[in-house]
Structure 1
Amino acid sequence: MINFSKRIFLQALALMTLSGVANAENISMSTPKTSLVVDATKGGAFKFVYYGDKLTDADIATLQAGGTAGKDAYPVYGMIGESAAALSVRHADGNMTLEMDVDSYTTTTEKNAKVLKVKLKDRVYPFYVTVCYRAYNDVDIIEMWTEISNGEKSTVTLSQFDSAYLPIRRGNVWMSHFYGAWANEAQLSEEELKPGTFIIDNHDGTRNAQTSRGEVMFSLDGKGQKNTGRVIGAAICYSGNYKLRTVTDESEYHQFFAGIDEYNSEYHLAKNETFTTPVTAFSYSKEGMSGVSRNFHRWGRQYKLMNGNVERKILLNSWEGVYLNIKEPEMAQMMADIKSMGGELFVMDDGWFGNKYKRSIDNCALGDWVVDKDKLPHGIDGLLAEAKKQGIKFGIWLEPEMSNTKSELFEKHPEWVVKAPHRDLKCGRGGTQVVLDLSNPKVQDFVFSIVDDMMTKYPEIDYIKWDANMNISNHGSQYLTANNQSHLFIE
């Protein structure tokens, strides 16, 4: 049986043949309870057709006969300038327009998913966009991303390069999302979508969930309810700056875009280079916001988190107990305390390291990841032995992407920090904290080695608290070329 809303939708499509493509190449991507359908007719525009309840083969046949609803599946800028776009570029010759048609498509099967890749080509330029979808067969999640390829003679500049686009039919549609601040994270905001553009974005550079969050839900039947009503959820899977846009114009659709925030981040795509955007994951449920949340949780545990289906240990962290005043006897006492309360893990926080500069105050020693033997005479080995004696696990604090100007690392490698040319450093916590420039491969190797060496030397370490206490405040790379300074946030 087709439910009433789906039947009306399919009947409407059947009446649109004259305005659509009579022999549309409709492709369905399905999860256990949902389907997404696109029209990838070769030589034609790439069209969005449907996203919602799972369709049967008979439903697909009806869509095939009915043609397409007419919305672009990945809108581009240039020929219809007033419309919002997911992609805008400047070609090597200065042309700022795109006209993309379907060149080909492929479908492949992974262990637990089906992957569709639709390759689009500009009508004039050797410029390509492959729009990719991954539909899981065990969770109700469909991922979307793009692969943007430059076949032109020289560099193409990407001005807007979203991962995903989804049109949502207008009605009594409400949006739910999180916002907040330090110590006030994840405050829920709910509002009805009105004409205009609603933007959720992040410019922090190093932390992208302390203020706004890169997730959103759209309740299609009025203000969102926990367990009833149709809801679409979206989450961008990216650790950098992002932008979620919802554009409500004069059309019959809310238009949702998700991708890297292009703010001061235009990307110069070299000849023969392919830029792959981060995944945006979508879910749909008729069981309200909680239904979508459960879908994301199943997917996250199964595919995104290490040991996601294993219960987490009950832990005690040393920070609020002693702050930076780490001492071996106090660590042993805290281990005994958490054991006595039935806990399973003790985490030693900030303050355990430093050689020339001692980490007894937060203005020094970041980057100098050696044990302070004055505080811990028996080192990490002694703490691991104590944890084993108590019958619990041991964890440790790191912030390897940061440094202080008062550190041996900074004295040796001042060129490793994010810094604008001809400008004084703007420092964070303690008046000396700076961010290491992870666009530099040498810095990447250093940061990787901090974690790798620690885990190699002390494989019994069960947990790492990885902190991030400063945003990027000195936009500039001492490694990237002058022409590619706008790549900093991405690289």
Structure 2
Amino acid sequence: MYSINRLLPIYKKYSLSVILIVFMGFISMAQVIPVETNENAVVLEVSKGKDLKMIYWGKRLANSSEYGQIPTQEKQATDYTGLYCSAYTPAGSRNLLEPAIAVSHADGNRSLDLKYIQHEIQHESDNISLLKITLKDKIYPFQVDLFYRSFYNQDVIEQWAVISHQEKKEVVLHKFASANLTLKASDYYLTQYHGDWAKEMQPEESKLTHGIKTIDTKLGTRANLFLPSVFMISLNEPASEDEGTVMYGALEWSGNFKIDMELDPQNNLRIIGGINNYASEYHLPAGEEFKTPSFLTVMSHNGKGEASRKLHQWARDYKLLDGNGNRLTLLNNWEATYFDFNEQKLFSLLKDTKKLGVDLFLLDDGWFGNEYPRNNDDAGLGDWQANKKKLPNGVSSLVKEASNNDVKFGIWIEPEMVNPESNLYHEHPDWVIKQPERDEYYFRNQLVLDLSNPKVQDFVFGVVDDLFVENPDLAYIKWDCNAVIYNAYTAHLKQQQSHLYIDYVEGLYAVLKRVRDKYPTVPMMLCSGGGGRVDYAALQYFTEFWPSDNTDPLERVFMQWEYSYFYPSISMSCHVTDWGKQALKYKVDVAMMGKLGFDIVINELPKEELEFCQEAVKNYNELKDVIWHGDLYRLVDPKLNDFASLMFVNNEKSEAVMFNYLVNNRYDIKSEMPVKLKGLNPEKRYHIKEVNLFPGTQSWLDSSKTYSGDFLMTIGYNPQVQTSRKSVVLAISEEK
């Protein structure tokens, strides 16, 4: 038995080919294959019949040679198939449960029996190892390679499969999961999310019962609109913030997904996740490969908070574009003007951007279209030329004026979409996803362009490229996606209609890769009418995402809280707008929990409110490094309490920021007891200073006192939140 990470010193000394020889020499002995991280282990076992099983997923053992003893201690009900815990369950042979893969061979036979052939390990860095396991059918020349990439320090594992064959004709893939996991516990508690436009990330927790629970989407684009592809599983009992064993799961895919959770006859939880096979049978020619998207997991034995911090660190280091870098604060014109603006009005807003003190002005929807001007949302999409009436001197005049005001300029686009009222629609109807014989059906008065078509990919890339070629100083892109796919049909694929949902997403990624190859550092916001397209495959190309069009700060406290389980604060765009009845201070304080932006009319602000915003931007610039790159600790859950409290702590535990918000306005509601802080050094002493005070007000808190980290984490600190003091932001710093 050999642990991946125990072999790393061998790898460093010898070449990969030598390592593979060593592994092949030990195949007769190495029937147990552990994938170990700092805290955990996923253990695979090769049975006597060469079936590959997942026999353990949990805390790592000190002695990896003992993993093979785990099954001897389990006295579960009979496994009639020998495949209940299969690492990649095939359909059509002796399996009785939900399969991970189902195919029709070239001769029409639909059976599959995958047997272990070999495995090999690559050491990609001091922190990353990649395990590859080859499975083959005994009868047909059909192969599946399973991959497990482990991130040792973060306890994150990514899994995917590569499917190939050498049959005489194409093989049809009916199901093709990315991961087939097995968990063992007494009980399983699922936390999933649901929502709609402006109601994103609504949590639900339930105990899983026997049978199959499915989380899926069939929307094609904007796939997370109703059900996001992220979830948690608590083992034995519901996990809290700091206690309990919990696994986070997420699919790195921006299209249709399906995650099946089956409680099997032995009371094991089988999790099978990947691309949704709905209307997506894939015809695979001989000699070609089908690679599934990655399915990521992270497990913590110390509650949800630790799992979040591990995932955030992994995301910043390995997945999110420039995750450890900087971000631009901005002023957006949308709520100031909507579609009604001209060059002079925008020039005025550019001056307001400088006055406010943020980095960038973002021009939102409505700047394009001439024959079909974009004066509302029913025309113009697809015609990406500046509207001559609104912008007689083009976008370049705005970019130049931004530079004159010492700020940057960004712009909104929705290049995957088209309005029927557009030149593009009339010139290229074959580029549009729609059934040729059926009535068109619109989502927000628009249809989706067919990104399975390389010509459409070239067009969409050209929308971005032309903007940058004409405006080299363009500094930001907001990429929107507001429609789902109705009447799915592609004129490009002709007979292979079942490839559309998959090829669309692959086409999108191809475009985004071209954009990043040419413009690797330009910040881009991933927007989809809110959180309709948020996943780690897309976030490889974007610096941030738009959580929701609902910017009511009270609603955002809850939404951003739930997003924070899976995504770091540096990735969340949070804007101050006119939504909600709360005071401006409350709105600004809530937006400061992520990547700050403003969507208000600056020149209409009273003097005191403008001064407050300007000072808040200065405060944010001093605190944003801790907020973006620090560890997040959720302190008081707004779902269970009258107020919310959370904090960010830097790696050195010398600086922290604590956010506190009242979420219940009933009479005399307040924070009666101190809040126990987390993540500090118990031996250090800290100053606590209230920031973001409104002009003319003084803090209720005594900033002259110092407290030990031990006191703050054992006894706590009361931010004195109440109805007359609904949001409180505290800067915590080590005493020097």
Task: Give the TM-score normalised by structure 2.
Answer: 0.61
Of 47-56 and 282-291, deviating more is 47-56
Instruction: Please say if 1:487 is aligned against 2:502.
Output: no
How far is 1:158 from its partner?
1.0
How do 1:113-132 and structure 2 match up within 5 A? Answer: 113-132=128-147
Residue aligned with 2:66, SS = helix
Residue among 94, 98, 103 paired with 2:117: 103
Q: Distance in 2 between matches of 1:358 and 1:22?
A: 71
Aligned partner of 1:25: which letter? Answer: Q
Contact 1:245/1:257 (<8 A) preserved = yes
Q: Distance in 1 between matches of 2:457 and 2:97?
A: 40
Instruction: Please say if 1:275 is aligned against 2:290.
Output: yes
- What residue number does 2:340 align with? 325
Structure index of larger Rg = 2
Residue aligned with 2:310, SS = helix
- What residue number does 1:451 align with? 464
- What residue number does 2:448 align with? 435
How do 1:234-383 and structure 2 match up within 5 A? Answer: 234-383=249-398
Contact 1:133/1:142 (<8 A) preserved = yes
Residue aligned with 2:197, SS = coil
- What residue number does 1:85 align with? 99
- What residue number does 1:473 align with? 486
How far is 1:299 from its partner?
1.5
Contact 1:23/1:64 (<8 A) preserved = no
Q: Distance in 1 between matches of 2:235 and 2:460?
A: 45
Per-residue CA deviations over 1:326-360 (Å, capped at 9, x if unaligned) read 31122222223333333222210110011222111
Instruction: Please say if 1:63 is aligned against 2:67.
Output: yes
Per-residue CA deviations over 1:6-26 (Å, capped at 9, x if unaligned) read xxxxxxxxxxxxxxx995522
Residue aligned with 2:168, SS = coil
Per-residue CA deviations over 1:377-411 (Å, capped at 9, x if unaligned) read 23222211222232222110001011112111112
Residue among 149, 153, 160 paired with 1:145: 160
Q: Distance in 2 between matches of 1:458 and 1:25?
A: 60
Residue aligned with 1:247, SS = strand
Per-residue CA deviations over 1:141-169 (Å, capped at 9, x if unaligned) read 11000001021111111111100011111
Q: Distance in 2 between matches of 1:460 and 1:310?
A: 20
Instruction: Please say if 1:52 is aligned against 2:58.
Output: yes
Instruction: Please say if 1:36 is aligned against 2:42.
Output: yes
Per-residue CA deviations over 1:227-253 (Å, capped at 9, x if unaligned) read 211111111000111011101132220
How far is 1:461 from its partner?
1.9
Residue aligned with 1:77, SS = coil
How far is 1:55 from its partner?
3.3
Contact 1:26/1:41 (<8 A) preserved = no
Residue aligned with 2:380, SS = coil
Aligned partner of 2:499: which letter? Answer: H
- What residue number does 2:220 align with? 205
Contact 1:22/1:65 (<8 A) preserved = no
How far is 1:292 from its partner?
1.5
Per-residue CA deviations over 1:400-429 (Å, capped at 9, x if unaligned) read 011112111112111110122322322232
Residue aligned with 1:142, SS = strand
Unaligned ranges ≥5, structure 2 = 1-26, 75-81, 504-736
Aligned partner of 1:108: which letter? Answer: Q
Q: Distance in 2 between matches of 1:338 and 1:211?
A: 35
Instruction: Please say if 1:462 is aligned against 2:466.
Output: no
Contact 1:76/1:87 (<8 A) preserved = yes
Contact 2:56/2:184 (<8 A) preserved = no
Contact 2:56/2:182 (<8 A) preserved = no
- What residue number does 1:13 align with? none
Q: Distance in 2 between matches of 1:288 and 1:137?
A: 19
Residue aligned with 1:72, SS = coil
Task: Give the TM-score normalised by structure 1.
Answer: 0.90
Q: Distance in 2 between matches of 1:363 and 1:445?
A: 24
Aligned partner of 2:38: which letter? Answer: P
- What residue number does 1:10 align with? none
CA distance 1:199–1:67, shift in 2 (3 Å): closer
Residue aligned with 1:224, SS = coil
Residue aligned with 1:191, SS = strand
How far is 1:458 from its partner?
2.1
Contact 1:42/1:104 (<8 A) preserved = no
- What residue number does 1:163 align with? 178
Per-residue CA deviations over 1:272-326 (Å, capped at 9, x if unaligned) read 2210000001101112112222222111122221111224322222112211113
Q: Distance in 2 between matches of 1:245 and 1:39?
A: 23
Instruction: Please say if 1:73 is aligned against 2:87.
Output: yes
Q: Distance in 2 between matches of 1:288 and 1:364?
A: 49
How far is 1:42 from its partner?
9.1
Contact 2:185/2:236 (<8 A) preserved = no
Aligned partner of 1:120: which letter? Answer: L
Aligned partner of 1:383: which letter? Answer: L
- What residue number does 2:722 align with? none
CA RMSD, aligned part only?
Answer: 2.0
Aligned partner of 2:189: which letter? Answer: W
Aligned partner of 1:36: which letter? Answer: V
How far is 1:269 from its partner?
1.2
Q: Distance in 2 between matches of 1:141 and 1:462?
A: 33
Of 327-336 and 209-218, deviating more is 327-336
Q: Distance in 2 between matches of 1:195 and 1:44?
A: 28
Per-residue CA deviations over 1:38-85 (Å, capped at 9, x if unaligned) read 1247971111122222333x2x11124667877211111122342111
Q: Distance in 2 between matches of 1:246 and 1:463?
A: 40
CA distance 1:42–1:349, shift in 2 (3 Å): farther
- What residue number does 1:5 align with? none
Aligned partner of 1:286: which letter? Answer: H
- What residue number does 1:424 align with? 439
- What residue number does 1:7 align with? none
Higher relative contact order (CA 8 A, sep 6+): 1
How far is 1:466 from its partner?
0.9
Residue aligned with 2:475, SS = strand
Contact 2:396/2:470 (<8 A) preserved = no
- What residue number does 2:150 align with? 135
CA distance 1:457–1:106, shift in 2 (3 Å): farther
- What residue number does 1:12 align with? none
Contact 2:248/2:307 (<8 A) preserved = yes
Aligned partner of 2:106: which letter? Answer: A
Q: Distance in 2 between matches of 1:402 and 1:37?
A: 45
Aligned partner of 1:449: which letter? Answer: G
Q: Distance in 2 between matches of 1:307 and 1:459?
A: 21
Aligned partner of 1:448: which letter? Answer: F
Q: Distance in 2 between matches of 1:440 and 1:115?
A: 33
Q: Distance in 1 between matches of 2:34 and 2:95?
A: 30
CA distance 1:66–1:217, shift in 2 (3 Å): closer
Residue aligned with 1:27, SS = strand
How do 1:206-245 and structure 2 match up within 5 A? Answer: 206-245=221-260
- What residue number does 1:6 align with? none
Residue aligned with 2:502, SS = coil
Aligned partner of 2:492: which letter? Answer: Y
Q: Distance in 1 between matches of 2:69 and 2:203?
A: 43
Q: Distance in 1 between matches of 2:429 and 2:469?
A: 28
Contact 1:24/1:67 (<8 A) preserved = no
